[in-house]
Amino acid sequence: MADRLSCMSASGSVYRELDGPRREIRLLAIHPSRDPAAQVQCSLEVVSLDDDPVFEALSYAWGDATMNHEILVNCGVFHTTGSAGSALQALRSQDNRRVLWIDAICINQSNLIERSDQVKLMGSIYGTANTAKTVRVWLGIEELEDIGVLDVFKALTSLQGASDTFKSVTEPNEHILAKMCHFLGRSWWQRFWVVQEVALGQHIVFQLGVESVEFHELLLAHRICTAYFGGKYSTNSYSRAIRIFMTAFDNIEVLDLVHHICVVNKISMDPRMERYAIMLWTAIANILRVRKTTDDRDRMYALFGLLPPGFVRRTKMNSSYSSTPEQIFIDVTYHIISSSKSLMMFNYLDGPKITLVSRSHSGLPSWVPDWRTDPASELEGSTFRVERDVIFSASGDSAFFLKRLSSDTLCLQGIFIDIVSQCFRSESRCQNDSHENYSYRLWREKWASFRNLPLNKAMSQSYLPGMSADAAFRKTVLLDCEPNLGAGKGHKRLTAEGSEEMFRVHELFMQSETEHNSDAQNFSGAELRRLSYMKDCVRDRSFVITTSGLMGMAQVSLEPGDHIFSVAGNSHPVILRPSEFYADTWLAVGECHITGLMYGEIMPHKKHFSDLQQNLYARSEVQNIKGGRRNPRWEEVSAKPDDPWEWLLVE
């Protein structure tokens, strides 16, 4: 390695070109010093990952780019951000040199080709068994508010420690909570790249100043806190401070979920497991939309290392900083839909902004999420949709069909179900309403709205053969699922007993709320989990009634006049909006749940829905919401597909 060491070149650059085929990277060796105030001196060394070098990979938030920190690299002055500089100062050993990989210094950030090539190696840098033995997370210099905070987290790794820390659940130690929230509010927790960095690492250490805590300790502390509070922190008897703390602490669980994807990718090449991993990746990409990145292209690139290797090879998806964010979003979304054989991505669309003007402004087709915006739905931001893919099969056993036409238009196969007649969503949230009160108020309004729906007499008694309207409503607002209360997490198909129990608990909660006595300690852990699930079902959703009286739940972005289709191979029906410009062309709104049509029931009744379609399409009010011009993309589509399917062009 000695022959790799050199001072800066005559041109003043500390970088020499890396050999891509040899998988070369640069490592930063920090020279030891016994003087903590001395300027940091380092050497850049070029190594090949194929030689199994040993080093620590640093994960940190770049911080304010205007705050320069001077260090010496290869005999010359090198300017880096204050965050990186403080990390090097704190990590410097008194007696031995320390070898790190730190992106801001080890990658020539001004060389876009090199940046793209090095991004492809991120998985190897952070995750290869013989390289980064430790991923060290630098959270920053310890401040006055942080003193003792890591000891608090370590104490929370036991139930006794949690009890001693919080003393009284209803009257928590606000000072301790504020200290932990300050720790969880540091900028590192909002950075995008850190997710892949931590997930791929084998041994993860969080460092604050000179103090450190292991990732597995934080994960255990989160699980102990969740068990200690028993989900009670989501109810009104617990302080706002506890709810804020636990919401911030949930970031640890997200990192663990991402690590789970890496495990799946390593242990299985089974196509079903690969599809599962791709869908989990999609859910996580949506969860992380709230995080910050200096380059919008990194909203995808920062997660590429978490994709199944087989998927990456087949799609030939590579990071390229010469592409625009919009083109990257389009390509990634298409490949995810194609490989997962699912329109799960439709849940992450931006909803009401899918007009011609807004789409022109965003530069994205309607079927592509704008990953620069916050998630539209909290529940769909979880892995719940991945679980539902196994439970439901709205299109029966039909094969998934997808074709990409010019101008980024998708061609799908679908069967018409109905048109949205009414959708019920609540008023905007009151400023003084707690999140929980707001969710329950929404839920009650939907129930009250249902009781006054202008349904015909028959529908007021029966929804479908063998299902009353009341039972159908319950299935609808619960999305025909219930939480799994066994040892495992997740959800399962709704049972009659589960439905009765959830509504019983709901009535008890409503009664206690009316009496201003919603003490969560009156509810068991199972009851609290059911309450939490019911609130999640209501949040960010609309209750839907179609022209023929079908009930459903969908994103709040849908509107009367939106069309509902069963799409070949997709587990859920989808909502499409007629194009304002072209005839028989659609804009994607999202997926939906339609009670009575989630298990392939549409297939034996396809003639009924075909007749309904002809009836509705003959109406002038339906014709008036569609564009009048012929879409030139129809020239790229072959003859009509096999019955009962029709082509759906989505742009």
- Convert the pLDDT of each residue in 101-160 to its tens digit: 998 899 998 898 898 888 888 878 887 645 557 889 999 988 878 889 999 999 999 888
One-letter identity of residue 559: E
Q: What is the pLDDT of residue 11?
A: 39
Mean pLDDT of the 440-451 span: 56
Nearest one of 278, 594, 567, 642 to 396, comparing CA atoms: 567
Of 119, 140, 161, the position where a domain reaches its end is: 140
Question: How confident is residue 25, by pLDDT bands cut at 50, 70 and 90?
Answer: very high
Q: What is the pLDDT of residue 569?
A: 97
Question: How confident is residue 239, by pLDDT bands cut at 50, 70 and 90?
Answer: low
Query: 365 vs 54, 142, 362, 413, CA distance in Å?
Result: 45, 46, 9, 18
Question: How confident is residue 338, by pLDDT bands cut at 50, 70 and 90?
Answer: very high
DSSP 32: P
Question: What does 77-107 look like in DSSP terms, one character per residue?
Answer: EEEEEHHHHHHHHHH--SSS-EEEE-HHHHS
Same structural domain for residues 305 and 445? no
Question: How confident is residue 261, by pLDDT bands cut at 50, 70 and 90?
Answer: confident
CA-CA distance, 58 to 84, in Å (whole number)?
9
Strands in 425-509 per DSSP E: 462-464, 467-468, 481-483, 491-493
Mean pLDDT of the 277-290 span: 90
Q: What is the pLDDT of residue 352?
A: 45
Nearest one of 110, 119, 135, 134 to 25, comparing CA atoms: 119
Same structural domain for residues 40 and 98? yes
Asked whether the predicted pLDDT for residue 51 surpasses 50, the reply is yes
Q: Which of the two residues, 368 and 267, has the higher pLDDT score?
A: 368
Same structural domain for residues 27 and 103? yes
Percent above pLDDT 70 for the chain: 83
φ/ψ region of 45 (left if φ > 0, alpha if ψ in -120 to 50, else beta) reads: beta
With contact defined as beta carbons under 8 Å apart, do 36 and 62 qualify? Answer: no
Same structural domain for residues 415 and 320? no
Report the number of distinct structural domains present in the chain: 3
Q: Where are the alpha helices (DSSP H) in 138-236?
A: 149-155, 159-166, 174-184, 194-200, 215-229
Residues paired with residue 24 on neighbouring β-strands, in sequence order: 48
Q: What is the pLDDT of residue 1?
A: 33
Same structural domain for residues 372 and 399? no
Same structural domain for residues 366 and 399? no
Q: Which of the two residues, 468 and 561, has the higher pLDDT score?
A: 561
Average pLDDT, the chain: 83
Q: What is the pLDDT of residue 507?
A: 80
Q: What is the pLDDT of residue 445?
A: 62
pLDDT tens for each residue of 341-357: 999 999 998 764 544 44
Same structural domain for residues 478 and 591? yes
Structural domain boundaries enclosing 94: 1-140
Mean pLDDT of the 73-77 span: 85
Same structural domain for residues 358 and 398? no
Query: 146 vs 149, 156, 224, 396, CA distance in Å?
Result: 5, 16, 21, 55
Cα-Cα end-to-end distance for the chain? 54
Mean pLDDT of the 58-79 span: 78
What CA dihedral angle connects 58, 63, 65 and 70, to 10 degrees? -60
User: Residue 605 domain-assigned?
Assistant: yes
User: Residue 207 domain-assigned?
Assistant: no
User: Residue 556 domain-assigned?
Assistant: yes
With contact defined as beta carbons under 8 Å apart, do 541 and 554 qualify? Answer: yes
With contact defined as beta carbons under 8 Å apart, do 365 and 576 qualify? Answer: no
User: Residue 351 domain-assigned?
Assistant: yes
Of 140, 166, 193, the position where a domain reaches its end is: 140
Same structural domain for residues 407 and 440? yes
pLDDT tens for each residue of 598-629: 999 998 988 999 999 999 999 998 888 888 89
With contact defined as beta carbons under 8 Å apart, do 8 and 75 qualify? Answer: yes
Same structural domain for residues 365 and 399? no
One-letter identity of residue 400: F
Same structural domain for residues 412 and 365? no
Same structural domain for residues 337 and 410? no
Of 79, 107, 140, the position where a domain reaches its end is: 140
Q: Which of the two residues, 319 and 74, has the higher pLDDT score?
A: 74
φ/ψ region of 439 (left if φ > 0, alpha if ψ in -120 to 50, else beta) reads: alpha
The number of CA neighbours under 13 Å toward the Cβ of 92 is: 22
DSSP 305: G
Question: How confident is residue 575, by pLDDT bands cut at 50, 70 and 90?
Answer: very high
Q: What is the pLDDT of residue 479?
A: 94
Burial class (CB in 10 A: 0-12, 13-18, 19+), 273: middle
User: Residue 236 domain-assigned?
Assistant: no
Give the highest mean pLDDT range of 511-520, 533-542, 591-600, 634-643: 591-600
